[in-house]
Structure 1
Amino acid sequence: MIKSSVKNFILPFTICLLIALALYPDSTLNLDKYSTEGLELNYNISQDLALVANEQTKRQNMFTPHLGKSFEGFKEALAFKESRGDYFTVNTLGYLGKYQFGSETLKVIGIYNPNQFLYNPELQEKAFIANAERNKWVLRKDIKRFEGKLIGGVKITESGILAAAHLAGPGSVKKFLRSYGGNNFSDAYGSTVKHYMRKFSGYDTSFVSPNKKAKAIL
């Protein structure tokens, strides 16, 4: 605390001294009265700014809610995997937004303007819900049949199924489940149905209602 106070004193004092010398060059200012002897003068502004930023980050983290295995936790975990949570990103294959939707999937849930979609976070959130509702309807029988079973070393859960459907489509998920892991779709970046089944297992997705005609409407 003392070291910090000294540092906070030196810089303003030095600035004031230089201003005084500039304004009154002929003054008989006695510099012998001022001394920095014994003070730590190895003062690095960038290091101090880094410390301030670090403290601010710590304070922010103290108030970050723990989403755990809630539905919000599911959404945010999946979004981070897809795009690190960036609403406005487009990947090398043309997939859009926070949840990386393809244009054909968007059409299924009623979105025909990809550019409008990309710059509308609210629409992206509604699209995620609508797509999950539709996938849950398509996979409702498979969820009932396979939930709780072990396939390829992975415990099958509803959230894992919905996450894998988001990655690969419900058809690929059906093939994985009904082949007991033998048919394991992999996307262009190497992510597989099995990996998503494992990574996103155990979240509470009861919020999602199966809906064959789900649409994203503002």
Structure 2
Amino acid sequence: MMKKVINYFAIPLAIIAIIVVALQSNSTVDPEIYSTDGLELDFTVSEDIAFNGQVSKSSSHINVHHTYVPYLGKSYNGFKEALGFKESRGNYFSVNTFGYLGKYQFGAETLKLIGIYNPNTFLYSPELQEKAFLANAERNKWILRKDIDRFVGKKIAGVTITESGILAAAHLAGPGSVKKFLRSYGNYNFSDAFGTSITSYMKRFSGYDTSSIKPDKRAKAVL
């Protein structure tokens, strides 16, 4: 008889125990575990990644790519990673339809200016690509040093000019084109083959801390 009584209460007690455990588990869920704090959520379409055909268009829709990248703020690393993402989605081995190479989409002639004469070696060396980015930025900063002093803080073509914006635009269009843009107060606004303009880079990459980039006329990328 005792055995039957125990069996009678066993199932309800087990159910109650399961419910209590479930309620306790729910009450201790930490929402911070699921926080997106520290992530830059980048939803990119058309112009942003059209250079490598990663957006598919039709008359009815555009496919949107959702990409999550570490948040690096307005530091130098944030600057170069944001620029690398814009150029190639951070792909060191990317080659676009015009033959521009790597994470930062360098042309062969620009590479020669910073001491790189073998594009194939460059493409398969992430370390060399990072050195090339810095060397090119140092060289551009030297060429544009007077324009940086003169124009930073001014507003041109609706964009507040910053040093990082100038350096990003020089990466896109070359320092000579950036000089023309600044000195014409925006009347000369170069756009590349994909329609990306100096103005768009000035705005997109404004306000980063690029003070660690030192002007260097003879900057070279050396492993």
Does TM, scored on the shorter chain, surpass 0.5? Answer: yes
Larger helix share, 1 or 2: 1
- From 101, 106, 112, the counterpart of 2:106: 101
1:112 aligned residue: 117
1:131 alignment partner AA: N
Q: What is the Cα deviation at residue 103 of structure 1?
A: 0.1
- From 70, 79, 90, the counterpart of 2:75: 70
Q: What is the Cα deviation at residue 62 of structure 1?
A: 7.1
Deviations 1:165-205 (A, max 9, x none): 00000000000000000000000000000100000000000
Q: For 2:162 and 2:71, locate their aligned partners in 1 and report how far apart those are by CA, in whole Å.
A: 21
Larger strand share, 1 or 2: 2
Identity over aligned pairs, percent: 75
On the 8 A contact 2:159/2:199 being kept in 1, the answer is yes
Runs of 4+ displaced beyond 4 Å:
61-65
Structure 1 residues 52-63: aligned runs within 5 Å: none
**Structure 2: 5+ residue runs without aligned partners?**
1-32, 40-69
Structure 1 residues 73-92: aligned runs within 5 Å: 73-92=78-97
Q: For 2:132 and 2:141, locate their aligned partners in 1 and report how far apart those are by CA, in whole Å.
A: 14
1:35 aligned residue: none
2:171 aligned residue: 166
- The number of residue pairs the alignment matches comes to 161
Q: What is the Cα deviation at residue 66 of structure 1?
A: 2.6
1:83 alignment partner AA: S
Q: What is the Cα deviation at residue 164 of structure 1?
A: 0.1
- From 188, 207, 210, the counterpart of 2:193: 188
- From 210, 215, 218, the counterpart of 1:213: 218
Q: For 1:195 and 1:180, locate their aligned partners in 2 and report how far apart those are by CA, in whole Å.
A: 15
1:26 aligned residue: none
RMSD between aligned alpha carbons? 1.6
Q: What is the Cα deviation at residue 147 of structure 1?
A: 0.3
Q: TM-score by structure 1 length?
A: 0.71
On the 8 A contact 2:165/2:205 being kept in 1, the answer is yes
1:96 alignment partner, SS class: coil
Deviations 1:32-91 (A, max 9, x none): xxxxxxxxxxxxxxxxxxxxxxxxxx87x7786531111100001000100000000100
Deviations 1:95-151 (A, max 9, x none): 000000000000000000000000000000000000000000000000000000000
